[in-house]
Amino acid sequence: MDEKILAKKEKIRARVKNFTLMDDNFMTVFFNNDLECTSYVLQIIMNIPDLKVTEAKSQYTIANLKGKSARLDVHATDSKGQIYDIEIQRADKGAGAKRTRYNSALMDADESISGMDTEKLPETYVIFIAENDILKGGLPLYHIDRIIRELNKPFDDKSHIIYVNGKYRGNDPVGSLMHDFSCKKADDMNSDVLANKTRQLKETEAGVSQMCRAVEELINDEQIEIALKMLKQNRIKEDELADFFNFSDEQLEKVLSLYHQAIPVKA
């Protein structure tokens, strides 16, 4: 095997070893189609011990009304038809009030069909599990709902936002969960449910291979996005892409196809 390729693979394996559930790459594989783990996390955050998830998809793509798409970290549905968007957020910058508003609007649009009775919209929850205490109140959870100010009563539009303080380490289920989200090793986790899945992905050959493929795909996607940006800004020529990014023929074809699709057709 080529030394460059071997070194790249070893670097990716080391990266996988250091992942926690606060890392996008790990979380994406960890929760995708895993009803048990997703149910466990929501049971604690929602304080509903018997909550059962019936569908869980990571990196769930939703198109907005202008045709542009956005991806939700984990999109889940429970047995009562309630919809959840679980976002893992390491940087405070990406977890502001308008981001949660945007995600909530996307979820409503995704559930809507032309002419439907709006009263049939499902109850939705946008949940941000943040590495830091973004709202700086020292609390484990922050629940945000609309209220009628003059009456000091809930508006009850069935749209909710929850922030989870990733720094919280209290002696309760949320503190235990946030501890587990920061662990690199399965043996350090409190939850058997999360530890078992972590062992599967980090300590078995099949799991490590799955994680490595996911990381490689992400790196490739990131490089393609950078290449497209550089082409659009005239910072690189088409015939320089392959050498500059070490693209395969397939990757180069994908970049050029996306680039030419984005170029306005001249009259």
pLDDT grade for 65, boundaries at 50, 70 and 90: low
Position with higher pLDDT, 183 vs 221: 183
Position with higher pLDDT, 111 vs 56: 56
Residue 207 identity: G
Report pTM: 0.80
Please write the tens of the pLDDT for every residue from 116-135: 788 889 999 999 999 999 99
Q: Which of 87-96, 119-128, 142-151, 153-162 has the lowest mean pLDDT?
A: 87-96
pLDDT for residue 267 is more than 50: no
The pairing of strands 141-144 and 159-165 is antiparallel
pLDDT at 68: 61
Find which of 145-149, 205-209, 213-217, 255-259 is predicted with most confidence, using mean pLDDT: 145-149
Smallest CA-to-CA distance from 254 within 214, 213, 225, 215 is with 225
Position with higher pLDDT, 91 vs 182: 182
**Helix, strand, coil percentages in the chain from 3-state DSSP, rounded to 5:** 50, 20, 30
Whether residue 87 contacts residue 130, with contact meaning beta carbons closer than 8 Å, is answered with no
Token duo for residue 192: 């058997």
Q: Residues of 77-88 as b/e, b for ≥16 C-beta within 10 angstroms? A: bbeeebbbbbbb
Q: Residues of 225-241 as b/e, b for ≥16 C-beta within 10 angstroms? A: eebbebbeeeebeeeeb
Whole-number Å distance between alpha carbons of 63 and 71: 9
pLDDT, mean of residues 104-108: 90
pLDDT at 183: 97
pLDDT for residue 49 is more than 90: yes
Q: How many CA atoms lie within 13 A of 117 on its CB side?
A: 2
pLDDT grade for 173, boundaries at 50, 70 and 90: very high
